[in-house]
Structure formats: structure tokens, C-alpha cells
């Protein structure tokens, strides 16, 4: 062990950056704290503009060779990375839970297997990526996907490794090199990913990891003239700063931002199913961008829906996320907890009623909360809380339900509970959202487009959409019978 290696839940984690295939320390550090109990995990290298520039330079130097690497070889290496993830799945799960407080059982059974799947899916999709040639007045059109160049990927803290690899895997598959900047509250599994990628044979400089505060290194990454793609998941204000920075070089952006998604429950819905969907919105202590945080319930069933919801939510267990019996863990950071509590306190002061919850608990835990008597134009209805806080409003007509659902600046997702397929078709066709679920929630397929409308984002990723973003899509037109003898 060295001074730069932490032991977290029995797993050794290097605290330095990964740049050009080497570990690089910074003069300054920042403190990483576990949300489970507030314990200090260790000091992490705190990147500056110097490390950001070095990472971009390493990505630029590695780009020509990686871009020229045959598709089959790139795919083979990505599968090797997936093998490494699966080999270290338990280590990744326990480190991630310690670092971000999400349920260990979820990391073991769903999240970390999805990390491996991210690499396998895009490796396989790369090998079948093609567009059928077509003719224009006898000329042949051939579409191809050329690697774009170094890509900066800035990822959030609510599902750190899964959301990082959702970007890293397609960028690498496309032939781009990567500078990954993980969230400062959850840097540890990105460091482990660097080790896994190196062991899998990914060439030096193809994946670089720079840690630190976005306010200190963000502009150096996003305004760099050698960066050709930027993908960001996070808040609207940060995205606006990134967009302004990227505009200097007209660097293409993919932005997956906040949500204030609705759950529409019609009187003809299976109420037990609707309640199950509603309670599921407390997943990850409410720290899910896609969560349907606004319940819109038809007035005639609102009282019964609320009764069943309160009963079902009351069965949830909140506590240590390492315990298999726990359903809701802590929130990520004292600052986030204060933000959540501020939203609730202001809502109650404005006339909202807490049907359940509405208060902090010991440590970094917030009681699962449902607020009623909220106005459509109120802060609690219009702004993203990103905690276990839900609101309930009623409607009397289908048109009113659609109006309420669409009446925010966001448009990331929507969930609909109804027993009428014709109504489902009508309503989903009118909802402003990148993803709509009918009588289900959080069913995700990597070949589907993912992204948001309005202030919930710019662009789509997933399947071919990811390659469309991470590549320069080229059309080559060839004239008929235009070849001359040259021999």
C-alpha cells in the first residue's frame, strides 16, 4: 500500500488521477465522506486545469491509433473490460454503496451487472452498425460512422459507475478516446474502472480519469479546443455553464438533465399496480432523475389511492443500505439533505400538507414524504427536489391530466396507469417526455433512445443514437461507371 491507496470496505482504491496510462497525484486533495455514517473515506487528488489539460493531451495523443483499431479488436477489448467488471463485481458493489449510500443489494443484483452489460451491448452494437447503401440518380450513397475525437464525459453521483459506463462504453466503441470526470462526492469506482480497463488491455491514454471539483476543472475540460464531444448528466445550471463553455469551439453536446416527471393515475387503472408504481419512486432515496415525483390522480379514486399508498409506503424500511432488509438508504451529502429539507419546509409554509414524512431523521436520512394541497405553480411542483419527496394533485378530466403533466419546464419521463389502451395511446401521444411508461416503470433497453425534452436535456443516446453522437456521420457518394483504368 502507498499513501495514495485507500482501503474501502476491504477494497484497495487508488486516490490519484489516471492520465495517459499512469497514476498522477495532485498537490491538493479533497475529502471523500460516506453518506451512510458520515465517516471519512480518505483524501482524493484534487485536479486543476493542469491535470485537465494533461488528460486531454493524453486522449489526443492516443486517438489516432485507437480510431484506426479495427472494430472487432475494439469490441474484444470492451468485452474484456466487461469480464473485469464481472470478476470484481462484489468489490465494485461494496465500494459504490460505501461511497454513495445506495442499496448494496441493488448494486449486487442490478447495477453492477448493468455496468458490464453497458460494455457488452455497445461492443456488439458496434459490430452490426451499418446503414444500407442507397442510390440517387444512379449514384451510390454509403453512410459511415467516423470516430470524432477526444470526448469529455462528466457524470453524476446518484449511480456513479453505471451512468459513467453508459457514456464511456459507446464513446470507446465509437473509436473515441475519453476523459472521464466523476462527481466529487463519489469518485471511487471511476478509479477502479481505470484499473479494470488497463488490465483488459485498453491502450494508455484511451481512458483517462480526472477527479476534482467541476468549478475548478470543468471549464478547462469543456472549453478545450481538442475536445470534440461532451456528454454531461446533472443539473440545468451546470449544463448551461458547460454549453456556454463548449460554444467557444462549437463542441457538440449531449445533456441529460433534471426531471419533474408525472405519474398519471386514471380511475380505470389497477390501483394496486398504480400504488406499487408510486411507492417505487422512493428508489435510491428519491435520487433518480427519471422518478415520477408528481402524482396526478383522478379525483374519484384519489382518496383510495392515497390510503393504499400510505399503507404500502409504511412497509418500507429505511436504514443502513448494506443491510439486505433496507429499502431506502441515506441521501448523498449534508448539502443535498439541507436542500431537500428546504424544499419541504417552504412547501409546508406555503400551505402544503405532509401526509407522511416531511422531516429529517438522524444522520443523512430523510423520511419518505408525500405532500398534498400543493399549487401547480408552487416551487415544490415545478422544481426538482432529488430526494424522497413526492407530491399529489388531482384532476377530473383527461385534458386536465395532460395539461398538469406537461406544465413544467422539464420533459424527461412520464408514467401512466390506466386500464384503457385507447386512452393510453391518446395520452402518451400528448405527453412531453423522452420516455413514457404505461402500466410499468423503469423498463430500460440500451437500444432505445434516451434523453429529455425542454430543460431535461439535449440529444438522445442509446443504440445507434449513441454512435450518431460520438461519431462524425459521413455520407460518401460515388458516381456510376466513373472509374478510369489506372494500370
Distance from C-alpha of 242 to C-alpha of 439, rounded to nearest angstrom: 36
Q: Is the pLDDT score of 442 beyond 60? A: yes
* One domain, residues 135 and 231: yes
Nearest-Å Rg of the Cα atoms of the chain is 24
Q: Which residue has the higher pLDDT, 487 or 393?
A: 393
3-state secondary structure of 393: strand
Distance from C-alpha of 395 to C-alpha of 302, rounded to nearest angstrom: 9
The confidence band for 485, taking pLDDT boundaries of 50, 70 and 90, is low
Torsions phi, psi for 44 (to 5 deg): -110, 140
Residues 6+ apart with CB under 8 A from 286: 293, 331, 340, 366, 368, 385, 386, 387, 388, 389, 390
DSSP, residue by residue, 124-146: HHHHH-----EEETTEEEEEEEE
Is residue 404 a contact partner of residue 296, using CB atoms and an 8 Å limit? yes
* One domain, residues 318 and 228: no
* One domain, residues 249 and 217: yes
Domain enclosing residue 322, as ranges: 261-438
- 443 located within any domain: no
* One domain, residues 48 and 183: yes
- 484 located within any domain: no
- 483 located within any domain: no
Which residue numbers are catalytic?
256, 289
Chain position carrying cell 424522497 = 388
Is residue 96 a contact partner of residue 88, using CB atoms and an 8 Å limit? no
* One domain, residues 11 and 71: yes
The confidence band for 486, taking pLDDT boundaries of 50, 70 and 90, is low
Give me 371's grid cell: 405532500
Give me 197's grid cell: 480497463
Indicate the average pLDDT of the chain: 96
Q: Is the pLDDT score of 487 beyond 70? A: no
Is residue 418 a contact partner of residue 273, using CB atoms and an 8 Å limit? no
* One domain, residues 308 and 196: no
- 480 located within any domain: no
| CATH value at residue 297 | 3.40.309.10
Distance from C-alpha of 248 to C-alpha of 225, rounded to nearest angstrom: 8
The confidence band for 254, taking pLDDT boundaries of 50, 70 and 90, is very high
The confidence band for 1, taking pLDDT boundaries of 50, 70 and 90, is very low
Secondary structure element (H or E) that encloses residue 422, with its range: helix 421-430
Output the pTM of the full model: 0.95
- 445 located within any domain: no
Name the DSSP letter for residue 366.
Answer: B
pLDDT digits (tens, 9 = 90+) for 185-205: 999 999 999 999 999 999 999
Helix ranges (DSSP H) in 214-295:
214-222, 236-247, 271-279
Chain position carrying cell 464531444 = 229
Q: What confidence score (pLDDT) does residue 229 get?
A: 98
Burial of 117 (0-12, 13-18, 19+ CB in 10 A): middle
Q: What confidence score (pLDDT) does residue 3 get?
A: 84
Chain position carrying cell 484511451 = 206
Give me 424's grid cell: 393510453
* One domain, residues 294 and 421: yes
- 150 located within any domain: yes
Q: Which residue has the higher pLDDT, 482 or 88?
A: 88
Is residue 386 a contact partner of residue 340, using CB atoms and an 8 Å limit? yes
* One domain, residues 161 and 277: no
| CATH value at residue 43 | 3.40.605.10
Number of domains in the chain: 2
Torsions phi, psi for 411 (to 5 deg): -170, 50
3-state secondary structure of 332: coil
pLDDT digits (tens, 9 = 90+) for 81-122: 999 999 999 999 999 999 999 999 999 999 999 999 999 999
**Mean pLDDT calculated for residue range 427-438:** 97
**Mean pLDDT calculated for residue range 248-275:** 97
Helix ranges (DSSP H) in 265-363:
271-279, 299-313, 334-349
Q: Is the pLDDT score of 391 beyond 50? A: yes
* One domain, residues 169 and 287: no
pLDDT digits (tens, 9 = 90+) for 394-428: 999 999 999 999 999 999 999 999 999 999 999 99
Burial of 326 (0-12, 13-18, 19+ CB in 10 A): middle
Distance from C-alpha of 41 to C-alpha of 292, rounded to nearest angstrom: 33
**Mean pLDDT calculated for residue range 269-296:** 97
Q: Is the pLDDT score of 37 beyond 70? A: yes
Is residue 134 a contact partner of residue 141, using CB atoms and an 8 Å limit? yes
DSSP, residue by residue, 174-188: TT--EEEE--TTS-H
- 485 located within any domain: no
pLDDT digits (tens, 9 = 90+) for 331-383: 999 999 999 999 999 999 999 999 999 999 999 999 999 999 999 999 999 99
Helix ranges (DSSP H) in 24-111:
49-68, 71-87, 89-100, 104-106
Beta bridge partners of 414: 436
- 128 located within any domain: yes
**Mean pLDDT calculated for residue range 271-298:** 97
Helices (runs of H) and strands (runs of E) counted in the chain? 16, 22
* One domain, residues 82 and 224: yes
Give me 403's grid cell: 395539461
Q: Is the pLDDT score of 297 beyond 70? A: yes
* One domain, residues 77 and 195: yes
Count the Cβ atoms, other than its own, within 10 Å of residue 240: 13
Amino acid at each position: 500500500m502507498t499513501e495514495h491507496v485507500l482501503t474501502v470496505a476491504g477494497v484497495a482504491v487508488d486516490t490519484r488521477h489516471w492520465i495517459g496510462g499512469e497514476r498522477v497525484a495532485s498537490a491538493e486533495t479533497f475529502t471523500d465522506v460516506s453518506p451512510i455514517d458520515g465517516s471519512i473515506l480518505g483524501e482524493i487528488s484534487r485536479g486543476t486545469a493542469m491535470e485537465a489539460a494533461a488528460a486531454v493531451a493524453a486522449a489526443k495523443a492516443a486517438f489516432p491509433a485507437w480510431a484506426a483499431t479495427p472494430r472487432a479488436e475494439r469490441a474484444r477489448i470492451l468485452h474484456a473490460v466487461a469480464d473485469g467488471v464481472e470478476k470484481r463485481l462484489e468489490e465494485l458493489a461494496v465500494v459504490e454503496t460505501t461511497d454513495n449510500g445506495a442499496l448494496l443489494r441493488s448494486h449486487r443484483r442490478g447495477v453492477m451487472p448493468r455496468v458490464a452489460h453497458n460494455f457488452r451491448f455497445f461492443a456488439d452494437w458496434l459490430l452490426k452498425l451499418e446503414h444500407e447503401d442507397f442510390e440517387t440518380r444512379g449514384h451510390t450513397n454509403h453512410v459511415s460512422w467516423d470516430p470524432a475525437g477526444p470526448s469529455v464525459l462528466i457524470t453524476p453521483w446518484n449511480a456513479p459507475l453505471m451512468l459513467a459506463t453508459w457514456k464511456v462504453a459507446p464513446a470507446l466503441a465509437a473509436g473515441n478516446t475519453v476523459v472521464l470526470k466523476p462527481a466529487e462526492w463519489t469518485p471511487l469506482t471511476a478509479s477502479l474502472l481505470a484499473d479494470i480497463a488497463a488490465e483488459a488491455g485498453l491502450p494508455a491514454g484511451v481512458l483517462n480519469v480526472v477527479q476534482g471539483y467541476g468549478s475548478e476543472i470543468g471549464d478547462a475540460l469543456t472549453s478545450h479546443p481538442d475536445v470534440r464531444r461532451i456528454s454531461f448528466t446533472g443539473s440545468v445550471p451546470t449544463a448551461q455553464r458547460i454549453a456556454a463553455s463548449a460554444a467557444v469551439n462549437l463542441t457538440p453536446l449531449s445533456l441529460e438533465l433534471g426531471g419533474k416527471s408525472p405519474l398519471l393515475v386514471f380511475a380505470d387503472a389497477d390501483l394496486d399496480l398504480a400504488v406499487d408504481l408510486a411507492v417505487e419512486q422512493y428508489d435510491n432515496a428519491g435520487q433518480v432523475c427519471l422518478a415520477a415525483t408528481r402524482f396526478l390522480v383522478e379525483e374519484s379514486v384519489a382518496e383510495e389511492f392515497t390510503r393504499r399508498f400510505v399503507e404500502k409506503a409504511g412497509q418500507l424500511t429505511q436504514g443502513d443500505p448494506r443491510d439486505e432488509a433496507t429499502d431506502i438508504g441515506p441521501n448523498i451529502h449534508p448539502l443535498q439533505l439541507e436542500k431537500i429539507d428546504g424544499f419541504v419546509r417552504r412547501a409546508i409554509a406555503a400551505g402544503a400538507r405532509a401526509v407522511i414524512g416531511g422531516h429529517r431523521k438522524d444522520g443523512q436520512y430523510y423520511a419518505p414524504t408525500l405532500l398534498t394541497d400543493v399549487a401547480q405553480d408552487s416551487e415544490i411542483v415545478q422544481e426538482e427536489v432529488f430526494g424522497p419527496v413526492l407530491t399529489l394533485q388531482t384532476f377530473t378530466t383527461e385534458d386536465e391530466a395532460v395539461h398538469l403533466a406537461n406544465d413544467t419546464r422539464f420533459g424527461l419521463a412520464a408514467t401512466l396507469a390506466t386500464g384503457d389502451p385507447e386512452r393510453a395511446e391518446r395520452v402518451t401521444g400528448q405527453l412531453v417526455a423522452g420516455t413514457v411508461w404505461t402500466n410499468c416503470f423503469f423498463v430500460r433497453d440500451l437500444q432505445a433512445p434516451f434523453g429529455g425534452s425542454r430543460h431535461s436535456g439535449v440529444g438522445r443516446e442509446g443504440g445507434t443514437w449513441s454512435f450518431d453522437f460520438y461519431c462524425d456521420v459521413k455520407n460518401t457518394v460515388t458516381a456510376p461507371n466513373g472509374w478510369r483504368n489506372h494500370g
